[in-house]
Structure 1
């Protein structure tokens, strides 16, 4: 379920585990350790942040009863780690792999993984629509699959189904000076100059001092400044480029100069957008305009400035080097668009991981139930305290299907009993049965295309175990003195005791 987190003037609606944790002001050191695990899961895999938090908490809940009964924490840690080893090994054994990355089957696998990731999100109703967009965007990237090469832009207004994918780069119209209205807003196959250079007259610094002999010399100093900037502008115009982009400001003089020559310019373009334009067009970011080589220029099939909602956007399409994409998100409320972006971020990360490690398992709590059965069976082959610990680990894994059933509004006990019965069948045909959140029953989640990259599950289970073991390994908390004043007070107390005085709290 979604949480509404209110921080200052901003309200955030999300069910993304890592986002919730980041927005909370966590002070407790043990809770902070669990929070770090959720962030690590987000950075490493992108999805499964809620799962890792739920599993960590459930492992500790199971361990609590053992601690209260006097069992040593090292025994519990050893049992948990042994159970995790078996769980990871079993995932590797049962995962479904796709070897041919060019086949239609592989694209279908990616779409299914994206849909499963979006299933629990606010945009779940539009999962088919967004899954296709996410897969198309990730497939545009080069072999490195650099996530920064996918831009996500927010435009309020319209339906969420008005969102679209730009095969290239799109960014919001930057601040413009006088003369901008006269510039053309559409080009086919233009050359592009990408700069990290200021194109405006520099004002003298406050402490600058210029000494002149004759009053006429003052004009030559002013003219020198104009000659410098006009020299730069002429060098840019000579290249034949029709679009000029700069990370730094492009002033009114340069804007009018380019308008007179039917050129388009945009200054103060964000660093990430500049880099994505350079990647897409094959251009280079230049810090000087003297002797610009032809190879330093970028090219694009089509450039246009478009009205999207209430905003103007510069769009670069049909790029020859198209290794980047931009998703333009529409929606009524800014909170909704922000949550949609977080949802797409998870889906993008999942698809990236699925491309790199093309192996999947069934979602919907199916893999957790299967692991729970296997670990429970293993616990019967060992004796002593470890049997109890390993059995409790198996019980803790059932929290995922239980939470899914509760969040869907169904009887979790009944659904878990059905799942246990199905997974325990000798024929092994119930291996991929999980929670059916639509009908309040169980079904084969693998056949129903609820797939998750096995890496997400391996990472979530391993990280949750490590977090629980970290907390269990601590037997005492020592609070260090926070300030010199506290240290001084402690010293005075010790001296007082030396004189035979009694100090009471």
Structure 2
């Protein structure tokens, strides 16, 4: 049989390679992302439910924080992993809105699906979405309110933002207590960089949530201690604090050393020399006038007893993080030698004490003059409860931080989404062609937030959305879901506020993720092998920047 000039079939991909491409592949990826969205939907809002996740090592986590859930779900689908990434990015950048961003991205993909099935090019949809998100962000910036105008009490404004962030969290019933704690924590930081890593969070099992404490300074658990420790004073007012990176232990020089002696006196001289070395160090520390000695390295029993006899408190093996925060709070600097320690190397605070909290003893440094750090001691009945309290506090702290840096806020409870949705619908009517449909689809996708809030609260979503659409068409720009009256209302006047940055970041991330999924029309899955794939040629189309390899 004559094939003419047709080239014979060339096998480029390794046997067992799975290559899928075309419109069906995009729809398949969208379906995977929608499955992730469906998992997170019930957790949205004040009346959202929590999810119990049991990991492979049988560790249980109860949470409704989107980023935490997605991280623990261990998503393997390469397209769905995009949602995990944007949720983590939202958590790192803004701290809150991790569930919203995932639900928005899933809804944007769901709205794009019918267009793809009808044969519209994914690039046209992407172009429409890009235009829509640009208009939406401009509208949010236009609507956002500068909360510092003509208002002196900045703290009250920050507390309102923090309380909104806590509405969907486990600690909502204790919100008034924790809101004050979060705002105190952020305001204690350096105003220039607001580094939230300097807010230490210690979890102590036992007690009620409201037994949690805010320490304007540093607190850390009592370190390993030797005999003589109990004789040391446990409370000081205005002490001098010396921070060291020096080991204060009596060590016989037997490691990797061989000493030959002929007389007992020679051996005694060696022992005396070892004692003399450490006693000299201890005398130099005593001469500095320090009342509290902290060291990253061990402080042995000889040194502990020496300090106890002279009414000096000591703690060895202090964790690096805790030591760094102590320096930030009390001043001074870490010394790596005991010689030539000057007064400016020492720090101070108003009050130091060691107290019992739960089953542990904690060292507290309070009233620190240079306090650019603080510590939150969280209490709770179960380990999972305290872990969720910590995640909730983190979200609220990040929101307060962003509100302090970016003074613009918008109303929550689905209000801003409905207003932007109305604006995009009106805009879409002013243009012709396919873009009209796509921008309208983007506007419809935004309604997923108020709709899901209603469904999770047990309200009639269809009725509520109709009432919201009517209110917004009459110019009620801040109308959203009101959970107290189980109706709709002006959320701005009820102080349901969120930083505009949260909404802008969520919309941008969700649209970017959607466009990324829409741009991938080919997936190549290689069977795991060593270097067999090293010289494999890429299949047709992979060089067009549209392939997404599966790991």
- TM-score relative to the length of structure 1: 0.93
Structure 2 runs not aligned, ≥5 long: 1-48, 538-551
Q: In 1, are the aligned partners of 2:421 and 2:443 still within 8 Å (CA)?
A: yes
For residue 403 of structure 1, the aligned residue among 436, 439, 452 is 452
Match of 2:259 in 1: 210
In the alignment, does 2:142 pair up with 1:107? no
Segments of 5+ residues of structure 1 without an aligned counterpart are: 492-505
2:543 corresponds to:
none
1:440 maps to which of 486, 492, 498: 486
Structure 1 CA distance, aligned partners of 2:239 and 2:505? 46
Structure 2 counterpart SS, 1:478: strand
The size of the alignment, in residue pairs, is: 487
Q: What whole-Å deviation, never above 9, does each CA across 1:304-334 have from its counterpart, x for those lacking one?
A: 1111122111111111112211111111111
Q: 1:49 aligns with which of 98, 103, 115?
A: 98
The SS at the match of 1:210 is: coil
CA distance in 1, matches of 2:255, 2:339: 29
Alpha-carbon distance in structure 1 between the residues aligned to 2:261 and 2:254? 17
Task: Work out whether residues 252 and 274 of structure 2, in 8 Å CA contact, stay in contact via their aligned partners in 1.
Answer: no
Quote how far apart the aligned CAs of 1:46 are: 0.6
Pairs within 5 Å for 1:204-243: 204=253, 206-212=255-261, 214-243=263-292
Aligned partners of 1:140, 1:100: CA distance in 2, in Å?
23
Matched residues in 2 for 1:227 and 1:100: separation?
Answer: 66
Does 2:140 align with 1:91?
yes
Report the secondary structure of 1:151's partner residue: strand
Q: Return the offset for 1:488.
A: 10
Equivalent positions of 1:154-173 (< 5 A) are 154-173=203-222
> Which range moves more in the overlay, 182-191 or 153-162?
153-162
Matched residue, 1:35: 84
The reply on whether 1:475 has 2:524 as its aligned counterpart is no
Question: Does the CA contact (< 8 Å) of 1:199 and 1:251 recur in 2?
Answer: yes
Q: Equivalences for 1:54-203 in 2 at 5 Å?
A: 54-99=103-148, 103-104=152-153, 106-143=154-191, 144-203=193-252
Please name the residue that 2:400 is paired with. Answer: 351
- 1:388 counterpart = 2:437: yes
Query: Does the 8 A contact of 1:258 with 1:265 survive in 2?
Result: yes
After superposition, the CA RMSD in angstroms is 1.8
Q: Distance in 1 between matches of 2:376 and 2:253?
A: 43
SS of equivalent residue, structure 1 residue 348: helix
Residue number in structure 1 paired with 2:328: 279
Q: Tell me the CA shift for residue 206 of structure 1.
A: 4.6
Q: Write the distance in 2 (CA, Å) between the matches of 1:49 and 1:487.
A: 37
Q: Is the 8 A contact 1:365 1:435 kept in 2?
A: yes
